[in-house]
Amino acid sequence: MDRFHELKAFVAVVEAGGFSAAARRMGESQSAISKAVGSLEKRLGVALFIRSTRNVNLTDQGQRYYDRTKPLVAELDEVDGEMTRTTVDVSGLVRIASASTFGRLHVLPLLPELLARHPGLKVDLILSDFARDMVDDRIDLAIRVGAVSEPDAVVRRVAGTPLVCVGSRHYFEKHGLPKTPGDLVHHNCLLYGGLAESANWPFVAPEGRFSVAVRGNFSSNSVDAIRTAVLAGVGIGMFAGLSLVDELSHPDVVTILDDFIVDVRDVSLIWPKRRFIPARVRQVTEFFAEALPKRI
């Protein structure tokens, strides 16, 4: 008997709650479904269900088998569905994860064009300054700024953005303008990360690369909060340049120490580790791979 048919019959019984309901779902006879599941149990050498006259319940082995095989059946169904559709018919849900500030400034403005190109597409945009677990959170595509620490993920770098160190004109009028990175130890530096007491900011000099341990009276896990505090004259911040699209042209914002900063942060598109990537996810990835570099 076809092993995939056995597997689909098993999943159908679990999800439909019984053999009769599974047979109706699959358009087959109840005896055919029962035979397929029985063949599967014989091949595996375990009982997958506890059967009674009224109920069909999974055994412990059956539950484990279902948890492992359900994603495989879903992916195979997805592949079958793609093969029956044209490549231009991009439809369905795509869950996209992005850092909050980057998503607001660079992803959201592109969504109207993406959805206009593919009317059947649905986008669930998850904005968070913490890297989400792509598998556990069922994320199809992540857009990240900076290093990616997922060795098994598929990572596609699409752009780069330089680091910039900035403060407000009001702050520098009160506290002076740092001339060298070492001067930062005498300034109020605003720290990204939340609950941070200090941070090492990277710089370069003719002698090579070095870092300066900076401190301040305000830290946050939100880039937007640090940006707002800088504009309010609270202190100095270091950002990826793409986070300051409007601020860098603001008359009250001053960039400092440009000659000492050479670091660039990558902008990457990331797929989770899986055997099959749906066409809609590939199409959305290609869209952002083309559109994001034009904005950054």
Q: What is the structure's pLDDT at 80?
A: 61
Same-domain pairing of 32 and 107: no
Same domain, 176 and 249: yes
- Half-sphere exposure of residue 88, counting CA atoms within 13 Å on the CB side? 1
Residue 270 in domain: no
| Burial (CB count within 10 angstroms: exposed 0-12, middle 13-18, buried 19+), residue 123 | middle
User: Minimal CA–CA distance to 165: which of 120, 212, 209, 130?
Assistant: 212
Is 116 within a domain?
yes
Question: Do 23 and 166 belong together in one domain?
Answer: no
Residue 204, domain member (yes or no):
yes
Say whether both 173 and 249 belong to one domain.
Answer: yes
134 assigned to some structural domain: yes
Q: Which stretch of DSSP H or E encloses residue 10?
A: helix 3-16
On whether residue 130 sits in a domain, the answer given is: yes
Identify the sign of the CA torsion 242, 247, 248, 253: negative
Write out the two tokens for 286: 């290609």
Residue ranges of the chain whose pLDDT lies below 70: 1, 77-89, 151, 194-196, 274-276
Which one, of 279, 292, 284, 295, lies nearest residue 78 by Cα? 279
Q: Is 179 contained in some domain? A: yes
Pairing of strands 121-127, 92-98: parallel
Q: Are residues 260 and 166 in the same domain?
A: yes
> Are residue 171 and residue 257 in the same domain, yes or no?
yes
CATH code for the domain in which residue 79 is found: 1.10.10.10
Are 146 and 187 contained in the same domain?
no
- Report the DSSP pairing between strands 264-271 and 154-168: antiparallel
In sequence order, the 6+-apart residues with CB closer than 8 A to the CB of 74 are none
30 plus 175 within the same structural domain: no
Domains in the chain, number: 3
Instruction: CATH number of the domain at 102, please.
Output: 3.40.190.10
Separation between Cα atoms, residue 185 and residue 200, nearest integer Å: 11
* Residue range of the domain that includes 181: 161-265
* Whether residues 146 and 173 fall in one domain: no
Q: Would you say residue 227 lies in a domain?
A: yes
For position 203, which CATH number holds?
3.40.190.290
Closest residue by Cα to residue 209 from 172, 163, 241: 163
pLDDT (0 to 100) of residue 87: 47
Q: Is 249 left (phi over 0), alpha (psi -120 to 50) or beta?
A: alpha
Are 209 and 284 in a shared domain?
no
Q: Does 107 map to a domain?
A: yes
The SS3 of residue 43 is helix
* 279 and 214 in a common domain: no
Partnered with residue 144 across adjacent β-strands are 268
36 and 174 inside one domain: no
Residue that terminates a domain, selected from 50, 83, 116: 83
